[in-house]
Structure formats: C-alpha cells, structure tokens
Structure 1
Amino acid sequence: MIRPHPEPAIHLGSPGEEISIQDLQTIKYRFKRLNQLREQRVQDFLQPRQQTFLDLLPLLFHCNFPMLPGFISSTTPAGIPEYNPGIQAINAARQLAKNFTYTRAASQTYPIEGLFLMGSVGSIAFSKTSDMDIWLCHQSDLLSCAIAELQKKATAIEIWAASLGLEVHFFLMDSKQFLLGENTPISTESSGQTQHYLLLEEFYRTAIYIAGKSPAWWLVPPHEERNYTAYIKHLIANRFIPEHELIDFGGFDAVPAEEFTSATLWHLYKALHSPHKSLLKLLLMECYASEYPQPEWLCQDIKKAVYQGDYMTTDLDPYLLIYQKVEKYLQKAHSHGRLALARQCFYLKVMGSSDNTMDSQTRATREKYMHSIANNWNWPASTIDNLKYQRLWNIKKATSEHAVIVQQLTHCYRMIMGFARDHVAQNQENSNDLKLIGRKLHSFLEKKPGKIEIITTRSEVHSKENTLSIVENRLPGGDGWAMYLKNVQMTNAADFEPIQKCRSLIEILCWLIINGLYHKQLQLQFSSHSLKIPNEELHSTLTQINLYLTQSFNYDPPLETYQTLKAQLNSLLIINMGISDDDGLCVMSERSDALSYGMNRQCFIQTINRISLSSWGEITTSQDEGIEGLFNCLADAINNSKKPLSLSSLKFVCHTPARAKGIILRVEAVFNTLIKLFSKQHHNRSPRYILPGGTSFYVFQSANKTLSYKQLATRKQLLSELASPQEQFSTIHFDPAVLENTPIHLIYSLNRPQVIQLFYYESKTDTSVYIVDEKGALYIQPHSKAKPSQLLKQYAIFLESILNRNLFETLLTIEYYEITKSPAGIFSYAPVQLKATASNQELSLRITGEDTHKGIIYSIYCNEKEFSSLDHGNQVFYAAYQHILQFRNGKINYPIHITDIDLPLSAFRIDNPEQLQTIHYLNYKQKIEDKFNI
C-alpha cells in the first residue's frame, strides 16, 4: 500500500560530520521495506503453487532438512545471518515435509551471507516467460568441496523450481572476490567480467533482498557515492555499524571506459535475436557513455528517493527508470525516430508480444499503467493504439521494423566504437569475450551478395501469410527475383511493392524459410520467363530446404564458436532446379555416366544452386553452371569445410525426371573420392584425381593445401598432364571412364615412390614403352619394327647410367614389366629380369654439357669420339649424327638410342636440384633421338 505522504529526508554526514546510528538503521529499514514491496509484487504475479518457492527460498539455504527440496546432505553449507523464518515459511515447509520442525541453530557461523533476486523479476516487465536470476552469496573461506556441495543444492532447487513452472538460475558468488573484480557472476542478461560495474549497477537497481546481510551500498549517502570505499571504511572504523552486518559488493569510484564498450557490444549481441528486449538497454548504455566520465547511475535515483523519504510515493520500477532516462536523452537530442522505437520497446517489455504471457486482469492493469505513462510523457495520441497492433504484425511490417532495428543497431555499434577510440587506451587489450562478440556482430550485420538476411523481428510475426508470389523481374543491374504478398505475376509486378528482392531464386527461397514464412498450407504463385518449375517440384524443393535448415542451422551459435576462424559446416546442392523438362536429358545410351553421357559425351549437370552454412551462423547462397560449377562447389567444400569431412558435408537434391537418382549417385561418388584423396594432407605425396566431364577431362590436385582442378580438352592434353614433372610423388586415381582400353590404369596401380617402373606392351604393329618415374610422371613411346629385347636393353642402359652417377639424393630402384592383353581385353603384367650391359659392338652415345655465360657448351661422345659446341657451334648434333651414320651397315635406317645424358639443370629449364626427376631425362632423350632418327 503506497503511503500518501513522503517520509522525512535523512542526511548522513561526510567523514568528520555528524552521522546518526539511528539514521543508518532507518536507511536499512527503508531499503528492506522497498524490497519487500517488490517481492510482494512478484508473489502477486505468481500462481499459488509458485509462491511457495519464494516463501521457502531462504529457509532452504538456512537449514538442511531431508524432506525439503534441494537436500544433499546434513553437512551442506547452510545458515543465513539475520534470518528467522516466519510462520508462512514454516507452514510452506510443512506442506512438503509434514514432520518439519524449526529450531534455531546454536552456531553463530553463517556460510550463506545473502540471497538476492535480480533482473526483471522485480519490475513491471516480469512475465510468465521471465526467468529468475538469484545471487547466492557465500563466505570467502568456504572450501572448494563445500562450494561444490552448495552448487549441487542450488542445482537441485533449480530443478524443483522448474517443476513449479519457474525458470531459476543460481549464481554462486564470493562478495570479496567480486569486490576485487574477480569471478564476476554472469547472469542471463550480462556477460560477466566484460561489464563488472554495469552489472553491479543493474544489481543495485533491480535486486530484491531476500535474506542475509545488508548491502553496504545502502549506507553510503548519494553525495558520497564517488567516495564509496573511504566512506564504508569510516563507518566501520568508527563503529557506526558492525562490519559483520554488511555485505560489500563495492561502489562506482572509478568505472573503466572499456566497460561501456563491452556492455554495449554484449547488448548488441543479445539484440540480434531479441531486439525489443535489448534496445532499451542499448540506449541506456549510450546515455551512460554520453555522460562519461561521471555517468548518472539509475541506481542512484533509487538511493536518492530512499534518502529523501519519497521512495514509497515515487514509481521506482527498474524498467521505468531506464525508459525515463532514455526518453530525456533522446528528446534532448531531437532523435524522434529513435524515441518512437524506445517507446515501442518499453511497451512490448511491459505488455509482452502475445496474450499468453499474462492473464486478463494483469493485462488490464498494465494497459492502465501504459496509458498513465503515455499521458505523463505526452506520447502522441495514437501511439498506444498503434502498438497494440504489434500482435497482428505480418511479414511486411516485421521486415520494415527489422530495417529500423538494424539501422539502430548499426548506429549503436558506430557510437560505441567512436567512444572506444576517444576513451579506451589504444594498448588496452580487449577481453576474449569482447573479441568474440565483435566477430558475432560483424558476421550478423555484414551484408554481401548471396548472404541470407535473418530478420531480427521474425518471431514477432503472428499473422502468417497464406499466399505469396515469387516473380522473376528486371532489376537495375540485371535480372532478379522478388517476393510479393498475395497473387502477383510478371505482367503486373510493377504495380506492387515487393517485401523482398534477391539476385537469385535460391536466395529468395532460403529467405522465405529461415524467416518463418513457409508452412505446408502456403500457396505459392510462381512466375518466371527463364525457369519452368512445376508446383510439385517447387514445394518439394522448399520442403527439402526447410528440412536441411531445420536440421543443420543454428540461429544463435554459442559465443565460444567465434573463438576459431569461420568455417563452412555443410552445404545443400540443388542440381538442375527448374530445368526438369529438357528433352536432351532423356536420350538413352549404354554409356551411362551422368557427367559424360553417351556417344556425344553429354554432361547432365546444367545448374547448381548451393546453400552453405557457416560455423558463425551465416547462410550463404550461390549459383553455378555446368560441370565446372559443380567442381567449384566440390573443391570449395574440401578446402573450406570444417574437418573432419564426410559425405554429410554436402547434401544433394535433384528433380530431373528419370535422371535424378543417377545424377545424385554419380556426384556423391565423385565427392566421396575427393574426400578420400584430399580431406587429409599427405606427407611427401600429392595425389591426382582424373575424371571425365562432358567431352573434356578434369584433373584435381592439391597445391599449398588448396584443392583445385584444371580442364584438359583432349586426350593428348591428358597424356601431357600425366607426363608433367611433379613436386612430390603423385599417385593417380582414374575414374573408370578415363583412358579405358589402355594399360595406364594397371600401370599406375603399381606405382610407388622412389621406384622407376618400365612396362612394355608388344602389339601386332609396334612395341610401346611406358615408364612411370619416381614421382609418378608418365613417359610413353611407341617403337615400330623394334625387337623388344634390344629395345628394353637400350632403355635399361640409359636408366642405369643416369642413376649410377648419383644424381638423386635418395637411392632409386628400377623395375621392368611386360604387359599382355587377354582376348577379353583385360590387361595384366609380369615382372621381367634385365641386364643393362652393353656389348663392345654397340654404339655408346653420351650427351654432356656445362653452363657458361654464353649458354650451354655441349659435348657429344660417340663411343670415344667427341663432338663439342666449341668446334661445331650450333651444328654439334648434326656433326655427331653424320658420324653415327658410318656405323650403319649398308646405310640401313635403324633407330639411334642415347645411352647417357649429363647436362646442367638449365638444359631441363629448372633451377633446383630437388626438382630434377627421371622424366626430365626421358623427355630430353626423346627430343634428341627424334632429331637423329629423321
């Protein structure tokens, strides 16, 4: 019951002046009476069975009784100073434990120093959906095992409260540690150590004293607020009040500027998903920051009212105090748009966003309260009526409100960053929480092509649309897509205002789903000049996108997620969306590869629409075309997805008639191969994956830990790729449709590092030599009318000679194999033993050289005859060739084989000995032999 007249003002003197002990006790009494009033308001709002919770709360921590909620053991810390349970608490205990009896403990030890409710629980904003934060303050000297026992008890009482329909959170705290700035307890409304003093201000403004010691802050008069620490010491030292009767959380002697930065960022973070709940607090932070370095704290307004004696006649509701301060600040700044938003936030906080948060009587009382506020602050006459319609918001209204809110959030972000530049030391290291919140804000607010904007007000849409239209239209800078309310077609779209515009269809479908507009009864009108999507396919696609986002997307990732760099979690690939009636996809062929189908090597992949989810709670979309668009998506998934990778990292959807299953199975198989080959780094190995795509071939390979691919338009280019030198040993995984009907698959199945393998295959027309060197490079050379034994001997002499000069750091070995082909076309191999020994009659042809400033000086030795560039200049090879002709019997034209090459690195166009490999010698050998064997 509010008293009609204020009580006498009380003035406590400064140190050296008169201080009345009776006045100190009166101040304590007034604060406790104000707290009792707040507690009674909470009780009046609760259901009868929930009221028992507050009745019993202090008793549960004052004693340990086995049949009462939260009992852990008889040794659990218990006992609260200055607390004696009243008859209401004892009766409540006996309802739960009929044999409960209370006897005053003989011990003077009280491990529990105090119990306080805090937050919105004691304000006009308290509702059925509000939670209760409770500070459970304990002695500093409690052992860790005792604190653990106390935490168990608190958790058990939280569970009991939940059974009553109450969401309760206990925060164990040591006031002495808190006073030193250590172990700041977080609450559901704050981030703990990033805002120690601002949390303390909220505590003094909103806390409801339940039991225990009195906060020392009560006894520091308003005019001594900035001298808090010295004043408390003065009271205790001069025995105005016993120290054991006080619990000291500290004052506001010197609040660091960085707290305003961290608190603003924290409330910005909270506003991303509960904007109306957090915007008032954001504006409060802005008010405080504008008053720095001497902010006028709201909790001081409460203290002033208590000391002035009008605390019972003045409305000191914590949320009203915020609104009043914000209103004055914005009126002074002539920020009318922001003021309207502040009024809206205050109204929604008091009235709730829906009817189910309070009963009709409470709603009527609060409506009356809001009308009185509107009258006192001269709100425009229509304001209250307009705010009532918030419960009837549709997506158009929510979208426009979202734009206003994002503008406000951006304004607050820029403001606090400017404040930080002006007041926070440049060498001040921000806390880890601050860094993570900054990442979260940037991630959410950043706009970029293809990123889906999540509407902050989506939960306020209580009126779901039954009909929406998706229309392809001409937008400035290119074609785009728009979404409209009701039925709109391309022909009349110019007459309507879209609720959303996007560059691509996949983007608009994602926006529709993530912002809660999609439901099974939704009638979607689709109008497009480039895509033909049957209604069934459109709804099936939406269903699959909805299922994917529901299962995989986290709207609000935990803050610790931002500790690591952003990574792609997974993606959904929709193949050929809206291209389901292409007749070309219906051709039948025995060559059934969806990537290279039939005799014409047709690729069925025409378009790829991708939805990707990041670890930082982002949804991005992209569009690609054709086989290269698909491969871009697959490579990106390998490079940027969170490890470890699995098939679930990519999900595939396709609606192409008669082909969908085959297309998906083929793409999944490719992706599975990429995962096996490239999801992990291979030490000293660099695998390649070769597969067909249309009429071309594609080679995947990692370089510098990044997977990429290149297109090879012809078979000749493919063989050239296989012959290319490699930085590391490169195994090759061939898709079955690549180089079929050749022994190359078989050859690479035997390939090993540090081994040179020579294979020969004798056909009716020639003998083909295949050599895979120690790094996986392939050399192929056909020889017509050659005797295999003589041919292999020449190759063996050459390979052995270049190895015997120890040109390679590690010892290499050589293996020889014969390849045969069965009548069924199956290739097989068998090892061959060779002796690389030349007879005296055979020609020895060695090519050597050395680098000079004029280039390479060549020396060619035909047996012991030397031909040098110094003598023959550019004709040195021709001179050697003329000499060799003398060895030919009857001028018979038979092949000339080089037996050894010893040249500087520049001859092979490399500059590092580590780059040198056998393929360099083989290619150079072939180049010279081609000249000799014209």
Structure 2
Amino acid sequence: MHANFHRLVERCDQFNQQKQARALAVMSRYGQQVFQLLPVLLHYHHPLLPGYLPGDVPAGVCHFQPNERQQEFIDELCLAANGHQGLASVRREIFGLYSMGSTSSIGQCRHSDLDVWVCYSHRMAPERVELLQQKCLLISKWAEQRKVELNLFLIPDNKFRTDNQQWVQGESCGSAQHLLLLDEFYRSNLRIAGKRLVWMFAPGKLGPKYDRFVAEQFANGTLNTDEWLDLGGFARIPAEEYFGSALWQLYKGIDSPYKAVLKTVLMEAYSHEYPDTQLLCRHLKGHFQSSNVLDEHQDHYMLMLEKVTGYLKSIGDDKRLDLVRRCFYLKVSEGLHRTHGDDAQYGWRRTIINRLVEAWGWPADKLARLDDRAHWKVEEVKAAYGELLEALMQSYRNLIQFARRNNISESINPEDIGILSRKLYAAFENLPGKVQLINLKIAPDLSEPDISLVQVPAGRVNRAGWYLYKSGLAPAEIIGRSPLEYSGYASKLLAWAHFNGLLVPATRLHLFNQGSDLSLQHLQEFGRDLARVFPVRMPSPTNLALSRPCEVRNLGIFLNLETDPTARWLDRPIEFSAKTSDPFSFGRQLDNLVGSVDLVYRNSWDEIRTLNFSGPTAVVDALTTILGKMHQDANAPESLDVFCYSLHFRSLIRTRFEQLVKECIGLRLAREQGSTIKTLLLGTEKYGIFFEPRGVSVQKMENAVDFYRQLSSQKQHRHALRLDQPGHQPVPDIVDAYASEGLMQFFFEGNGEGYNLYILDEANRVEVYRQVSGSKDELVQSINRFYTSHQEHVVGQSHFANFNLPQYYEIVSADGQPRVLPYRTVKEDRAGTG
C-alpha cells in the first residue's frame, strides 16, 4: 500500500468532509434534506420512514454514525413511534452510499440530480436485492415529491469483475458503459456513508496486478473487509466500450447538452490515446496521493476540461475548443448564479471560472451574451442547438471511425443499441414533416408576443409556401427580418411554434394569406385546438415502447384548414337529400367537401410528425398514410381528435371523417383478418382500400374489371419474397403482425441447430433465409456497423448520423403461442478485470 497510508486515510476523510460541505452549500433546501436523510432511510427500516415496504428488506449502512441533523430527525421519529420501538439496525448489509457525477464539483448547480451508488454483497439473495430495489424506487419517489431528482443504483461488489449483463433503464446506462462507468465513478465519487474505497489508496501503476496486490493487503491485515470496499481496478478501457458510451452520452445530451459535449469529446480524446489511454481517474488519484489540500486538480470537471483542451489543441480544432469552453462556462455558471449559503464553501468556484475566462481572453460582450442565457430567445437557441448538435455528431462520427480503423465490435447489447438509437432518432433525426424540438434545456422561455404566418404563392422569387416570423405584420416590424421556419403547409409551422414553446395562450397571431382559404379566425382556432389536445411535454417513452415498432399514440386530424370547398359556394343554393348527404360525395353535383387534410401526431417514440394532403384524393391519401403508420399488432391511438374549419357543414364533415377513420383503424388492427376491401366514393370517383396483414393500399376503381384485377394482384403479392425455396412455408403470421413501415426489421426463429431469418425492409418486403448457421451476435454487429458507417457516403449533411438502425427480434414460444421479444445477447461471465 502507499508509503503514507495512514496519512492518506486521514486526508481522505478530511477531503470527504470538505466535499460534502461544498455539495450541501449549492443544494436547495429540499436537496440538502434528501442528501442528509438518505443514509438514515437506508440504514433503518421502519413503517414511519419513507421507502418502507413489508418483507425482509436489506438494511444497515456500514459505519453509519448520524450527525447532529440526522440525529434530530431520528429522535423526532422515535417520539412519533413511542420510543425506539423498531428503530434499530443491527445488520450491516449495505457496504456504502456514494454519490457520483457533478455533486461537490465545480459543475454542480442548485438543481443537479443526485446519482448515488448503493453497494452491497453479490452474495445477497436475489429476492432480497429486488426488495432493496423496490425500496430505492420508493425513496426516489419521495425525493421527487420534494423536486429533487434522486437516482439510486444498486451495485454488487463484483459488478466490474463480471461481464455486463445490465440493460438501459431510466438513468442507468445498462450495457452502454462498463469500465468507462467505473472510471467516471472513481474520479467523481463522494462517500455519503459506508466503507472507504480501496482503489484510491493503491499505487497508481499496478495495471493487471491490481487484484493480486489488493488481495495481499487484505491477507496481511493492512486492509480489512469491515472498513474497506474494493470494486476492482482495470489495466485499460476495452475499445469495444467506446461506441456504446458515445450512444449513451448523445442520449444524455437530449437533457444536458453542455455536459454531453464535454463527455463525448472526452471519449474521443480517450480513443485518440488508445491503447495507452490516460484515464482521468488515474490523474485524480495521483493528485490525491501527492496533495495536502483539496484543490482544482481533484475536481473531475476541471480534469475533464484540461483533458479535452489538450486533445483539441493537439488536433488544431479551435472551433470545437471555443465551444467546449463555452459549454463548460455555461454549465458552471448555472451553479454560480443560483448559489446560496456560506461564500467560503462556493466562492472557490467563482475564483476558478474568473481565472479561466481571463486566460481565454474573452471580450466583455461575449461574456455578457453567455450570462444572459436566461433571456435567450429562439434565434439564440437555434444557433446554440446547431452548434451543440454538430459537436455531438462529430464526436460520434470520430468514435465510429475509430472502431472501424481498429476492427472493433461493440460490447453494448443489441437491445440497448436499439433503445438508445431510437431515442436519438426521435430527438435528432430531421425528417420532412417532423417537428424538430430545438430547446434542449438551452433557455427557460421561448414564448413570443407576436407570431406571423406569411404565404408566398407560386411564381414569386421566394419559394412558394409558408414562412413563420416572430413579429407582427407592420412593415417596421417585418421588413428585413429573416423567417424562423419555412414549410409547404401552415399547420407544420404552427405545430413547430407550439411544441417549441413560442406559441402560448397570450401570443397574438397574424396572417398574410395569398391564395389559400385559411382565415385568421381559423388559424387562431387551430392554435387553440392544437394546444388543447397536444401537451408540449409528455413522459419519456418506455424502453418497451422503444424496443417495438413505433405506434401512433395521439392523432389530431384538421380538415379544410387551407382548402375549404364550401368557402367558394357564396350564395349558391345548396341542394341535397338524404341519399346525397355524404360529405365525400355531397348534393346534386356530388361534391367532395374535404379539400385538405392536415395530420399532427405524436408516436410511441415521442416524435411529433405533421403531414398535409390536398386535392381530390386528400381523404384516401391521408387514410392510407395514417394506416401505414400502424402495424397489425399495434395498439389503437390513445386519443383521436378530428377538427373541421369549413365555412359550412363543419359538424357533418367532422363526424363523417371521424367515423371513417375509426372504422378503417378497426379494420387495420383486427387480430383475426384475411384480406378486407373497403370501397369509398369521393366526388364521382370510386376507390378501393385494401387491408392486408402487412399493410394497406388504395386503388382507383374505374369499373368492375379494375376492382378484380387489383384484388387478384393483392393475392399474388400477399406472400413473401423467398430467396431460398420459392413457395415453401409461409412467413409466420407474427412477423406480418409486427411489420412496420420505415425501418429494417430482423426476426430470428430457432430451427434446430441453426435459425430462420426473416428480414423486412422499409417497405415491408420480406426476404427469408432458412437453416442459417453462425453467430447471431456477429451478424447483428456487422449490420449495425454497416448502418452507422453509411453516413460517410452522404455528402453535404454535416449533422448527419444514422440513428435509424434496424430492430432485431427473437421469435419464441410461450404457452404454445409464438411471441416476439427484443433480441438480446447472452454473455458468459468472465474473470476479473485486473
């Protein structure tokens, strides 16, 4: 052990107390309460304590001695419980509680979340681990009621000596990170209660000899298991971890973009040094063992800044270096502006950041602009979003290229790749009609007092369509101002303004219309209808939802917003009878009263999509598009709202369209279904809508011959394309039921020593391979490598990263019935990491 071992122990305890004081000084009142009471709640198990549940729940934190505030809480609880009845803990089953992340660092702010490792013996019975997990969830909910985000992670003491069998869940990175996670823990941990960590006291260059050295220290009595916890060491970070870590940090960037930029560039810097990566945790350990004071060299945010600065300077990337510095400043200044308490505990943060700003040579106006972030509006946020996204994607691309250069396969599980890539696809993929959410917690309020929509007709200098401005229409306000957004249809722009927080109830809408039937009154109605049925924020999608094909969750249908056939009737007499009252073929002249259909929907991956259809086929085009977003095994939308903005017959048109949509959704999602045909008269034209297990199509029917020709064609194309034995065995029905447009799907079905493979492309065309041999894992990894590297062949899209990765499924049998589960690698445990 280190020559000054006993002095290091005293120093460790002293530094830990200082770090706790620093952490508490920045927290809110409720944050302090949660931090202080957490060890009490896990040390004792009592019905009056938050987190209580019946059963043999593990309790007792090693070496926990309540401080004055904790003892006051315990005494009050004892009075409420008529003495010390039941408030005792003779067991010591929790080895320690350790926070990690920004807590106590220069990067901590008033509302930083609290990530805490709850360490226990890997020999604990699984059913008792589950009880402890349930208790931790209850404690997290108790903290949430106090507006504190507390994430408790159960960590067995052998976690980093075995292969990673975890999966992404909530704030847990699952298989995305393993030893990189241990690196971050060692460089950022703060002991709340429990045993000291061995790793900080071991010599710095043991490498693969670490485990043997530590075992000798326990054997000769230098260390004892009652006071010390060893989570293991590592000779190096396996290169296989970098891809998964990049995905995880990009995902975290959705909520914490400034921190994510720093961490993704750090991963890039680590990979640049491969295989001799200089880990930050080792730097921090060296400073700890050689320093008598707790200085900035033991602050992991400062170490991270130093590391990425050195890397970016070495490759001459001044642009990203400037961005990294701004990200660091904004992350740290968030804590400075809102800090309270003893200045001695947090003034050191201001001293450091002021020194850095001076060294960077920032002009006063640049500093003022950054300090004014609370008042940033949409222009500043759009610019910041573009910069942040470009930096994140550049690091991601560089890490993929690193993996390809070294012929490295990823260690992250295929299921976790699917979940994380879906979250990133939903957040960042820019697609036609999709509402891009630009405010990644960049600014608190983007609301605008005035928003204008301006239509430009065809034949002008500017592109025909609609333009969105954040001003009124007075010449002094709008001349010389650039539009915020463009779209070919108005509903997309108002949806963009709504979901990005520009359009609020107090916003005044303005309209300059040049050719459509849209009126200011109807535009205002549309804005109110949109806000009523689509909340801006919804709970994040579950992992189950992300591992399945996406489904339409909330659907809004807006009829005749831009094109209203009834608006041109003027004083024309309206003649219709009971037989000609169908709004799709109305009156003596059989008019189709639906001129335009606008769709806005939120799907199960939390994407917001918009679509617009106009003209005589708008109804069938909208219908087949909606139904094409629903695989046969999908759930029906949780909400379906239809609105109509016609001058005449609003209620009739809305009711008829809603009835038609619900009928067609019912036909599409019918569990027991062969082929179904629905005919629909639009004006004087007849259309056939063909419902098949794998999709929906529409055909105009001129006569009976056309009808039967289309029906025959549907039957011919109903079966899969088989590349092995044409006509041999149909594709399983459950594959058809899961068929989802817009993504590649791979289904593995066990077949003796091999497996059958069913591949559905983006258009739901099927290829079948039978009796396939070889590793499924290798196949999955090679496919993912192809898709992630495909971006290199796309020219002119600097932000491009392909997150629309295939989904992989296993067909299994449960109670004699086939089921589809996300494909997941099964690994064998391996020996210690050294």
TM-score (norm 2): 0.76
8 Å CA contact retained: 1:647, 1:672: no
Partner letter of residue 674 of structure 1? Answer: C
Bigger shift: residues 615-624 or 234-243 = 234-243
Hey, what does 1:111 align to over in structure 2? Answer: 93
- Which of residues 542, 545, 551 in structure 2 aligns to 1:561? 545
Q: Distance in 2 between matches of 1:671 and 1:337?
A: 51
- Which of residues 457, 464, 483 in structure 1 aligns to 2:447? 464
- Which of residues 401, 404, 407 in structure 1 aligns to 2:387? 404
- Which of residues 157, 171, 174 in structure 2 aligns to 1:175? 157
8 Å CA contact retained: 2:51, 2:139: yes
Distance 1:569 1:184, change over 3 A: closer
- Which of residues 192, 195, 216 in structure 2 aligns to 1:213? 195
2:660 is the counterpart of 1:670: yes
Hey, what does 1:656 align to over in structure 2? Answer: 646
Hey, what does 1:291 align to over in structure 2? Answer: 273
Q: Distance in 2 between matches of 1:216 and 1:156?
A: 31
Larger radius of gyration: 1
Hey, what does 1:631 align to over in structure 2? Answer: 620
8 Å CA contact retained: 1:269, 1:437: yes
User: 1:78, CA displacement in angstroms?
Assistant: 3.6
Identity fraction in percent: 25
Task: Please give the secondary structure, in 2, of the residue aligned with 1:120.
Answer: coil
Partner letter of residue 613 of structure 2? Answer: D
2:402 is the counterpart of 1:413: no
User: 1:303, CA displacement in angstroms?
Assistant: 0.9
Hey, what does 2:508 align to over in structure 1? Answer: 523
8 Å CA contact retained: 1:56, 1:93: no
Hey, what does 1:621 align to over in structure 2? Answer: 610
Deviations 1:417-465 (A, max 9, x none): 1122123535867442123222332443333322222214465153532
2:284 is the counterpart of 1:302: yes
Distance 1:385 1:369, change over 3 A: farther
8 Å CA contact retained: 2:546, 2:605: yes
Partner letter of residue 695 of structure 1? Answer: T
2:6 is the counterpart of 1:25: yes
- Which of residues 15, 23, 39 in structure 2 aligns to 1:34? 15
Deviations 1:276-321 (A, max 9, x none): 2422222222222222222222222221112112443445222222
Task: Please give the secondary structure, in 2, of the residue aligned with 1:495.
Answer: coil
Q: Distance in 2 between matches of 1:156 and 1:589?
A: 66
- Which of residues 487, 491, 501 in structure 2 aligns to 1:506? 491
Q: Distance in 2 between matches of 1:286 and 1:395?
A: 31
Q: Distance in 1 between matches of 2:714 and 2:696?
A: 16
- Which of residues 359, 372, 375 in structure 2 aligns to 1:392? 375
Task: Please give the secondary structure, in 2, of the residue aligned with 1:222.
Answer: coil
Partner letter of residue 36 of structure 1? Answer: Q
Hey, what does 2:74 align to over in structure 1? Answer: 93
Partner letter of residue 534 of structure 1? Answer: S
Hey, what does 2:750 align to over in structure 1? Answer: none
Alignment of 1:321-470 (within 5 A): 321-352=303-334, 366-423=349-406, 425-426=408-409, 430-457=413-440, 460-462=443-445, 464-470=447-453
Alignment of 1:689-838 (within 5 A): 689-702=678-691, 705-713=694-702, 717-718=703-704, 720=705
2:577 is the counterpart of 1:588: no
Distance 1:101 1:221, change over 3 A: farther
- Which of residues 572, 584, 591 in structure 1 aligns to 2:556? 572
8 Å CA contact retained: 2:59, 2:89: no
User: 1:515, CA displacement in angstroms?
Assistant: 0.8
Deviations 1:349-396 (A, max 9, x none): 222299667689799875454213323454455443221111110111
Task: Please give the secondary structure, in 2, of the residue aligned with 1:296.
Answer: coil
Hey, what does 2:738 align to over in structure 1? Answer: none
2:592 is the counterpart of 1:603: yes
Distance 1:522 1:363, change over 3 A: farther
Distance 1:334 1:88, change over 3 A: same
Q: Distance in 2 between matches of 1:24 and 1:214?
A: 13
Distance 1:63 1:496, change over 3 A: closer
Distance 1:602 1:369, change over 3 A: same
Task: Please give the secondary structure, in 1, of the residue aligned with 2:569.
Answer: helix
User: 1:549, CA displacement in angstroms?
Assistant: 2.6
Q: Distance in 1 between matches of 2:535 and 2:50?
A: 38
User: 1:81, CA displacement in angstroms?
Assistant: 3.9
Deviations 1:705-731 (A, max 9, x none): 432232234xxx24x45777965999x
Partner letter of residue 642 of structure 2? Answer: F
The unaligned stretches of length 5 or more in structure 2 are 716-834
Q: Distance in 2 between matches of 1:436 and 1:72?
A: 31
Give the structure, 1 or 2, with the largest relative contact order (CA under 8 Å, sep 6 or more): 2
Alignment of 1:154-303 (within 5 A): 154-158=136-140, 161-162=143-144, 166-182=148-164, 190-225=172-207, 227-303=209-285
Q: Distance in 2 between matches of 1:75 and 1:376?
A: 57
Bigger shift: residues 118-127 or 423-432 = 423-432
Distance 1:415 1:189, change over 3 A: farther
Task: Please give the secondary structure, in 2, of the residue aligned with 1:470.
Answer: strand
Q: Distance in 2 between matches of 1:660 and 1:227?
A: 78
Q: Distance in 2 between matches of 1:236 and 1:458?
A: 48
Bigger shift: residues 534-543 or 703-712 = 703-712
Q: Distance in 1 between matches of 2:708 and 2:629?
A: 30
8 Å CA contact retained: 1:279, 1:345: yes
Partner letter of residue 14 of structure 2? Answer: R
User: 1:328, CA displacement in angstroms?
Assistant: 2.5
8 Å CA contact retained: 2:446, 2:502: no
Q: Distance in 1 between matches of 2:454 and 2:624?
A: 32
Task: Please give the secondary structure, in 1, of the residue aligned with 2:600.
Answer: strand
Hey, what does 1:748 align to over in structure 2? Answer: none
Q: Distance in 2 between matches of 1:436 and 1:186?
A: 8
Hey, what does 1:483 align to over in structure 2? Answer: 468
8 Å CA contact retained: 1:468, 1:483: yes
Partner letter of residue 375 of structure 2? Answer: L
8 Å CA contact retained: 1:454, 1:515: yes
8 Å CA contact retained: 1:472, 1:490: no
Alignment of 1:305-320 (within 5 A): 305-320=287-302
Distance 1:519 1:63, change over 3 A: closer
Bigger shift: residues 169-178 or 576-585 = 576-585
Distance 1:156 1:678, change over 3 A: closer
Q: Distance in 1 between matches of 2:281 and 2:714?
A: 71
User: 1:658, CA displacement in angstroms?
Assistant: 2.1
8 Å CA contact retained: 2:98, 2:116: yes
Hey, what does 1:544 align to over in structure 2? Answer: 529
Distance 1:493 1:163, change over 3 A: closer
8 Å CA contact retained: 1:641, 1:649: no
Deviations 1:525-556 (A, max 9, x none): 211312243222111011112233328x7474
8 Å CA contact retained: 2:99, 2:114: yes
Task: Please give the secondary structure, in 2, of the residue aligned with 1:611.
Answer: strand
- Which of residues 686, 690, 711 in structure 1 aligns to 2:675? 686
8 Å CA contact retained: 2:446, 2:500: no
8 Å CA contact retained: 1:688, 1:699: yes
8 Å CA contact retained: 1:221, 1:307: no
User: 1:492, CA displacement in angstroms?
Assistant: 9.8
8 Å CA contact retained: 2:559, 2:644: yes
